[in-house]
Amino acid sequence: MGNLFCSPSSQQVYSVAKAANNGGGVLLSFGNYAGDVLHFGEARERLIADGIPCEIVLVTDDVASAPLAEIDKRRGIAGDLTVFKAAAAAAEKGLSLDEVVQVAKEANRCTRSFGVAFEGCTLPGAADSLFHVPEGKMAIGLGIHGEPGISETDIPSADGLAEILVARLLEEVPDGIRVQGARVAPILNGLGTIKYEELFVIYRKVDELLQEAGLVIVEPDVGELVTSLDMAGVSLTLFWLDNDMEPLWTAAADAPGYRKGSVTPAQALDPAEVEVVIQDEIPEASDISRKLAFGVVEALEVLANTVNENCEMLGQIDAVAGDGDHGIGMQRGSRAALEAAREALDGGAGAETVLQWAGQRWSDEAGGTSGAIWRVILKAMGESLGNEKPLSVQRLAAGVVNARQQVMAFGKAEVGDKTLVDVLVPFADALSWEAEKGQGALACWESAARIASEAAEATKQLIPRVGRARPLAEKSVGTPDAGSVSLALIIQALIPVLKKCQAS
């Protein structure tokens, strides 16, 4: 079924966008989630470097995920549909990239969504759903990646639910819009288990309430449009229209996941035309670096085994306030990284190349925030180890410091945000400090590993300020950050590998 709930990798985004480019540039638009921001951002940089104009527009329609004053932190849910639809129609009209970007930004500004859930979704192969809602209750402010609601309330009648949805959205009308006489496109969206009969029962009251408020309804949509596997939930989106936006909403469309009106089918792209970048060039490496590369592969094997052994636990931690996929994402990424590292090693690669191949494959296969971050970590470590020199405590410490700097610059997280950075920073500082004192690599790592474990435990008391857990910040208090825990476990597990490398 693919990497459910994970962003596509930067390589996947880059390949598709490059194939789709017809000479006018590319617009990348997606819901505002950390992993997507990282992967799409990196793909954009690569496209621009290739001479392809590229812009990004984030969808931030979920009113439950952040206050209006922090609208840039809101996540994207069913409002993806309105932004994508308007931008696509504008592009079809022949507007320039800059003009399409402005349309997408305006569509996002004029879109608000609010949702509820009665039960969480179940990932394929999992024994239980990501979260449960107590009997007789419903969760308010759900996400579309299995995130639990922000609060809970008693289950109302269908009419009562319609009143809750409409009232919350009418509390926040976009600037410059007067409700009386305004034109609006309502979208009642089923998350997976709430089916059409129930949706239309709810929509009957939604329509009535919107008309009572003085609104003019334009081409409403009712159905399963932006889903979350089998989640029992529903969301309402209001797309506020003007004379420019309405024709873009009502324009005919024909895509695999959405149809409106009738259009002439487009010519399918030949898969052979899609460029796939394959890593097949292995730079020269010294004998001593190739020997170190064997140790790197062994370390990646230990890493993958550690993740595999703790996969379920990491997912459970992540599910408290996130989407519960950290364990399986790390598992998928670490396995792919190990496979790539072995391929590079078989080709005679040195330590740096092995780590670069591993990091890129991790990102490509895992997707998501962790996939992007671990690509950065492995790449940074490789840059410091190089393809010529032997392992030294100074290069090891420099690699971790380099990883810290690049991760913070790339992901924009800081200490205290309840992310992997809360372990990476104290670990890097401790390792550097021990290295400066003249300790050996093993002693330095062991000492810094204790600091890392303590830092991971300390994230229990932090409130997340970025990422998917941020809208559910209070729920995560008392539970450590999954990314911090996985990093600390990996650091600890690598001690025997360092001991072996030092002995040899």
Among 414, 389, 490, CA closest to 445: 490
CB 354 within 8 A of CB 293: yes
Residue whose token pair is 């994230």: 459
CA-to-CA distance for 349 and 271, rounded, in angstroms? 31
Is 145 designated active site?
A: yes
Q: Which residue type is seen at 294?
A: F
Q: Which residues pair with 28 in a beta bridge?
A: 56
Q: Tokens for 173? A: 């009308």
CA-to-CA distance for 442 and 170, rounded, in angstroms? 61
Distance of CA 202 to the CA centre of its chain: 31
What count of Cα atoms within 13 Å lies in the side-chain half-sphere of residue 479? 20
Among 91, 80, 77, CA closest to 27: 91
Angle, vertex CA 146, rays to CA 145 and CA 151, nearest 5:
115
Provide the pairing of β-strand 151-154 with 137-140: antiparallel
DSSP 309-341: HTHHHHHHHHHTTS-S-HHHHHHHHHHHHHHHH
Q: Tokens for 388? A: 């010529």
Q: Is 254 left (phi over 0), alpha (psi -120 to 50) or beta?
A: beta
Q: Is 277 left (phi over 0), alpha (psi -120 to 50) or beta?
A: beta
CB 337 within 8 A of CB 497: no
Write a three-state SS string for 37-80.
HHHHHHHHHHHHHCCCCEEEEEECCECCCCCHHHHHHCCCCCCH
Q: How many CB atoms lie within 10 A of CB 223?
A: 14
CA-to-CA distance for 96 and 215, rounded, in angstroms? 32
In sequence order, what are the residues at sequence separation of 6 or more whose Cβ sits closer than 8 angstroms to the Cβ of residue 364?
9, 11, 12, 336, 371
Residue whose token pair is 């600390």: 488
CA-to-CA distance for 435 and 433, rounded, in angstroms? 5
Provide the pairing of β-strand 216-217 with 183-190: parallel
Write down the catalytic residue from 39, 132, 145, 326: 145
CA-to-CA distance for 475 and 142, rounded, in angstroms? 13
3-state SS assignment for residue 241:
strand
Q: Which residues are identified as catalytic?
A: 145
